[in-house]
Structure 1
Amino acid sequence: MKRSIKITFLIFLSILSFLIGSCERKKRIKDFAIGKVEEIVIAANETVYANVEKELLDALYIQMDLPVKESVFYTIYSPLEKLHIHKRNKNIVFVTNINRNDEYSKIINEFLNSEDIELIKKEKVAFFKVFDGFVEGQNILIIAGTDEESIKESIKKNKEKIQQFFLENSYRSVEMMVYFTGENNRVSSLINKRLGIKIKVPSDFETSFYDKNLNCYAIVGRYPDRFITILKNPDMKNFNYDFMIKTRNRIGKEKYYGDFVDTSFVPLKREEVDFKGYKALYIMGVYSNDKENLGGPFFTYLVNTGKELVYIDGHIFYPGERKYFKLMELKAIVNSMEF
């Protein structure tokens, strides 16, 4: 159930200020959510959380091979006395039993109006989505029920929906982060001039290379190292996965010191997708470089515009760190393209 923030947020802030003493702070709250996009704050009464912890943590655990297995999100539990610190985080899940009368439960229950309460009583558990609650770019999921056992079972039943909520809406936060410091209009203009493609290049990206013979342009952002490579090909017969892999290996060899598609760690994901209204092929996997002894994840699109093929590749080098949302940053840039 989507909904907008209403007067209950003001009540929540008032109660929270009274309980925590944050009313003494004179600093103005910033307009944008803070913290890491991969962090999810869990806010709930300690007893409620203890009863649903296993199921909730399982629902919020999403594993990716990039190429080392890593979790997309990590969670932190916020006790009542620390809620004023976390209320501006990008992702929050509130869990509440509407029949509890402790202070923490009362604060969370202030989000719910009479219609919400009736729905919860009828269904035993209900989920509510709140966007840009305390700050812009914030995603809040409220899980409210009549008892912990029902909440626990509903979390298990709706595991995929909970995961999808944070995956989809965290991408919304990523889009905001990518262009937070502005755009590099100079490089955007160069790409448009060379390839006839419009793209919003973030301010921290620069030209990596341009190859006239390959009809290829690449940009790079540091640090960590993030690359986007764009190539145009006029031969429509090349609309296939083999062309994508061969092209990636060729560019990897010539421009990236020997990178190659490596399927020994992670199987190559292949699928047909829609790219902004155009038919496209998509692959995602891992590249390696034996000379440099490095590697990392990549994704590649091959878009059929009806007139030509556009090869778009994004890859990162970020050893020892979480990589999923760095890839999503590249996808946000790629999705700004217009042919």
Structure 2
Amino acid sequence: MPNFPILRIRNLKLEIFILSLSLLFLTLLVILSCSPQLPTSIGRIREVVLVTEYHNLIDSIAKAILQDTLYTPQPEPEFLLRFEPLSRLEAIAGFHIILLVGTINDKPIQKLFGEHLTELEPDSSRLLSINEPWAKNQKVLLFITRNDSLLVSGFLRYSARIHWQLQQYVLDQMQRLTYQRGFNQRLKKKVLEKYGFAFNLPFGFQLVNKYELDKFIYFVTHNPDRSVFFYYEIGTKPLKKDDLLAFRDSLTAQFYEGDFVVKELCRADTVQFQFRSKTHSEAVRVLALRIKGVWQNKDLVAGGPFVSYCFNYQNRFYYLDGMVFNPGKYKLDNLNQLDVILQTFELE
């Protein structure tokens, strides 16, 4: 723990179908809005309101897709899931995330989309994403099939896309909230000029550079306690989960007063990590290993979640990390904020 001082559509008919639905959403926006400006969306940022008449068919699938358990260290669902019937659509139309699931035979959906639904081909299903149809900063996903016999298979087929879209929405909204007052540009300039890297850190983060000779720089803030660290070394490393967890332990043992990871609560995936570098006119994209998990410190009786990005670039290995300490509180939103901050990484 630190010492406290981030298909292509293959036929024209489908393109026309999606365009028609998009135009209809815009028309509904004009008709249903009570004022010239949209109201601000409401609810928790990770709350998904699933509106359907087929709760019994998709309940277990929806929970498997959206309520994966993350440990912080207490278990937290990735999304908070709330079911509502289609008859309640108007009442919940202002929530941040709405997932509409139904068929062309459902009267509320017929009322909303009418004759455009006839363009849906037999034995098919579709997923449509709409931004801000009824409220500001809102995401609406419409999953629709010809009949209820296609709901389960179609929902499973689109499950990865649904999850990805909602995951990106949450990170986008967390970015908006994190930087609504801007970020510390003076600190960014200082760090970039002196150390050749930087993050867009919200106001309140402080630089700790007592280990700069070891190429380990970190930043801390409070309420709740959070830290972000940067480390690099010459040469490259294989992007293997167990090896990099052991490497993180070696860093935190030296610089974070003996922190270590709980391996059984850690997960990793390979992602495209994007950052800016003054040596390139466009954003640089590299393969990175993203690790999310739990850290502990036995001596300090402390622990919490962390997120890391590890990658190689121009014969250097980089380790970026964010961690939270907020005992007795839910921490997933704090962790998502750190994920957003790590994704603002820049190199000189």
TM-score by length of 1: 0.77
Instruction: Quickly say closer, same or farther: Cα 1:323–1:13, change in 2 above 3 A.
Output: farther
Tell me the equivalent position of 1:327: 335
Instruction: Quickly say closer, same or farther: Cα 1:138–1:310, change in 2 above 3 A.
Output: same
Partners of 1:95 and 1:315 lie apart in 2 by 36
Partners of 1:219 and 1:117 lie apart in 2 by 56
Match status 1:318 vs 2:300: no
Partners of 1:153 and 1:308 lie apart in 2 by 45
Tell me the equivalent position of 1:118: 119
Instruction: Quickly say closer, same or farther: Cα 1:217–1:135, change in 2 above 3 A.
Output: farther
Match status 1:305 vs 2:313: yes
Q: 2:97 aligns with which of 67, 78, 91?
A: 91
Number of equivalences = 319
Tell me the amino acid that sits aligned with residue 134 of structure 2.
Answer: F
Tell me the equivalent position of 1:20: none
User: 2:38, 2:136 within 8 Å by CA — same for their partners in 1?
Assistant: no
Partners of 2:90 and 2:203 lie apart in 1 by 33
Q: What secondary structure, in the 3-state scheme, does the structure 1 residue paired with 2:334 have?
A: helix
Q: What secondary structure, in the 3-state scheme, does the structure 1 residue paired with 2:214 have?
A: coil
User: 1:139, 1:170 within 8 Å by CA — same for their partners in 2?
Assistant: no
Tell me the amino acid that sits aligned with residue 175 of structure 2.
Answer: E
Tell me the equivalent position of 1:231: 231
TM-score by length of 2: 0.75
Partners of 1:213 and 1:325 lie apart in 2 by 33
Partners of 2:146 and 2:270 lie apart in 1 by 43
Q: CA RMSD in A?
A: 3.4
User: 1:49, 1:95 within 8 Å by CA — same for their partners in 2?
Assistant: no
Match status 1:290 vs 2:298: yes
Q: What secondary structure, in the 3-state scheme, does the structure 1 residue paired with 2:227 have?
A: strand
Superposition pairs for residues 1-339 of structure 1, below 5 Å? 5-11=22-28, 14=31, 23=34, 29-30=38-39, 33-44=41-52, 47-49=53-55, 52-78=58-84, 83-84=89-90, 86-101=92-107, 104-106=108-110, 109-110=111-112, 112=113, 114-119=115-120, 121-233=121-233, 235-236=234-235, 244-245=244-245, 248-263=248-263, 265-266=264-265, 268-269=266-267, 273-276=271-274, 277-278=285-286, 280-339=288-347
| 1:242-278 C-alpha deviation (Å, 9 max, x unpaired) | 8854653354334433312232x42x54566543323
Partners of 1:262 and 1:48 lie apart in 2 by 39
Partners of 1:278 and 1:198 lie apart in 2 by 17
Tell me the amino acid that sits aligned with residue 260 of structure 2.
Answer: F
Q: What secondary structure, in the 3-state scheme, does the structure 2 residue paired with 1:88 have?
A: coil
Q: What secondary structure, in the 3-state scheme, does the structure 2 residue paired with 1:302 have?
A: strand
User: 1:209, 1:218 within 8 Å by CA — same for their partners in 2?
Assistant: yes
Per-residue deviation at 1:298?
A: 1.9
User: 2:42, 2:94 within 8 Å by CA — same for their partners in 1?
Assistant: yes
Q: What secondary structure, in the 3-state scheme, does the structure 2 residue paired with 1:229 have?
A: strand
Percent of aligned pairs with the same amino acid: 20
Per-residue deviation at 1:12?
A: 5.5
